[in-house]
């Protein structure tokens, strides 16, 4: 069991929650990004720096993830690839992606890409709220408890 973090866009507060969980549960957390990210000194947390480029970090996570691992990402195509490899996926806002909802999320993502390409902008997502942070922590705890039970 390992936790893979799409760290280029992962908020600091979410990374801090992951660092504490790594120590508490002795689980490996690997941050994957195309720039160096400060991490705590821990045998359970590591940083994997990849080359710059479109989807390089996502592709590296998809290549390394194994069944039962957890991927932290807001990237819907990466989430879909991880689910195909029988990993679990949690967004930084605490949304759990699974085989039952990922197709719908891919369709919505593609629709929004088409809208943006045609000149319509919708702005970005709202700032991470305390409710989002709590939902993430709850989702992470749920995954860790299931993993501990085997």
Residues 6+ apart with CB under 8 A from 127: none
Residue 62 falls in which region: left (phi positive, over 0), alpha (psi -120 to 50) or beta: alpha
pTM: 0.87
Domains contained in the chain, CATH given:
2-149 (3.40.50)
The conformational region for residue 50 under phi > 0 = left, psi -120 to 50 = alpha, else beta, is beta
Instruction: Give the per-residue pLDDT at 59.
Output: 95
112-115: Cβ within 8 A, 24+ apart: none
50-76, pLDDT tens digit by residue?
999 888 999 999 999 999 999 999 999
User: How high is the mean pLDDT of the chain?
Assistant: 91
Confidence label for 115 from pLDDT (cuts 50, 70 and 90): low
């Amino acid at each position: 069991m390992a936790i893979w973090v799409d760290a280029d866009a992962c908020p600091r507060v979410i990374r801090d929650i992951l660092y504490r969980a790594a120590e508490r549960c002795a689980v490996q957390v690997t941050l994957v990004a195309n720039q160096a990210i400060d991490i705590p000194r821990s045998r359970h947390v590591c940083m994997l720096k990849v080359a710059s480029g479109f989807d390089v970090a996502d592709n590296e996570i998809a290549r390394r993830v194994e069944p039962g691992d957890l991927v932290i990402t807001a990237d819907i195509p990466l989430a879909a690839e991880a689910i195909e490899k029988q990993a679990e996926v949690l967004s930084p806002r605490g949304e759990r992606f699974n085989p039952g909802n990922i197709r719908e999320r891919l369709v919505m993502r593609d629709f929004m890409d088409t809208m943006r390409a045609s000149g319509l902008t919708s702005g970005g997502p709202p700032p991470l709220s305390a409710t989002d942070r709590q939902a993430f922590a709850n989702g992470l705890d749920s995954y860790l408890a299931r993993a501990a039970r085997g």
